[in-house]
Amino acid sequence: MKNLKALGLIVFALVIGLAAAVYAAGWVARQGGATTSKVVVAAVDIEPGSKINPEMLSSLDWPAGATPPGAFKDAGELQDRIAKVNILRGEPLLDGKLAPLGTKGGLSAVIAEGKRAMTVRVNDVVGVAGFALPGNYVDVMVNAQQEKSGNEEGKQISKTVLERVLVLAVAQEAGRDDTKPKVVSAVTLELTLEDSEKLDLARSVGTLSLVLRNQVDQKTVSTAGITKDELLGGKKAPAPLPAPAPVRKSRPARSAAAPSPSRAQCVDVIQHGVLAVNCF
């Protein structure tokens, strides 16, 4: 009897194991038969403004249901296209990351629609010790002399004229994958046309400085700037007090009973700002 129970347990275990093996084999077969499609990916890191050629690309099997929108299946479609942003190795090439067809290579392909690129001369101090790298955002500050106002001399003022300006390139490099500081002599900024005019005027009237800001900080702060007197704690001269209005002196009407000056001698008496006539 005991042998029968043990045999039954063994048979039951074998059946369970066989069923599990059949299920696992079916699952593996279904996974192996999942549909895939070829997706073009970057074989090397591609910097913004670079012209794409076949040596930069490779193909990778991608699950058909998870293909990224805008992906390419044929590397021939990407011949001579221009990368608009930095594309890392193994990353799918998407149409949104490329400049429009017919765009030439270089920095012009990286400039956003409606914007302009403008270069300003900097040094190790103005350029934030080389930490203003492509892809960073900076504020632009100018230190200038105000124009004369009447007899007063123009005051020296420091004021922020532009906020959250994108750095497109430092010197002749537009790559955004480097975090090491680079002390250069020129920085190229992305600006609107109106901001380009402001920056052109600012660099002609004073000294420019770049102020590095947080990448995700999008707040703008409007300031009136600061003058040398305000910096050193000087106070503005008080405004002159207005002149007092003149006091009008009123002559009281003569009484009907008062004798005429032709009959008596009269004397004008001024007392407390009031004119009175005394006759006798």
Per-residue tens of pLDDT for the chain, all 280 residues? 567 777 777 878 888 888 888 888 877 766 655 677 889 999 998 888 888 888 899 988 888 778 888 889 888 888 888 888 888 888 998 988 888 887 777 788 888 888 999 999 888 777 788 888 888 999 999 999 887 776 677 788 899 999 999 998 888 777 666 677 878 888 999 999 999 999 999 999 888 999 999 888 888 888 888 888 888 886 554 545 565 655 555 555 554 444 454 555 777 767 766 667 777 6
pLDDT confidence of residue 244: 61
> Rounded CA gap, 104 and 99, in Å?
9
Pairing verdict, β 274-279 and 266-271: antiparallel
The letter for the amino acid at 209 is: S
> Rounded CA gap, 107 and 100, in Å?
14
Please name the residue that has the structure tokens 């700037």. 225
Residue 30 gets the label, from left (phi > 0), alpha (psi -120 to 50) or beta, of: alpha
Contact 118, 189 (CB under 8 A): yes
pLDDT confidence of residue 109: 82
**CATH number of this structure's domain 36-108, picked from the four choices 3.40.50.1970, 3.40.640.10, 3.40.50.300, 3.90.1210.10:** 3.90.1210.10
pLDDT confidence of residue 147: 78
DSSP 86: -
How many C-beta atoms surround the C-beta of residue 162 within 10 A?
21
Please name the residue that has the structure tokens 């300003």. 120
Contact 128, 208 (CB under 8 A): no
How many C-beta atoms surround the C-beta of residue 188 within 10 A?
22
Residue 90 gets the label, from left (phi > 0), alpha (psi -120 to 50) or beta, of: left
pLDDT confidence of residue 242: 60
pLDDT confidence of residue 235: 56
> Rounded CA gap, 226 and 231, in Å?
7
Please name the residue that has the structure tokens 């593996």. 28
How many C-beta atoms surround the C-beta of residue 46 within 10 A?
23
Length of the chain: 280
Contact 32, 25 (CB under 8 A): no
pLDDT confidence of residue 256: 47
> Rounded CA gap, 92 and 54, in Å?
14
> Rounded CA gap, 211 and 225, in Å?
15
pLDDT confidence of residue 1: 58
Distance of CA 239 to the CA centre of its chain: 40
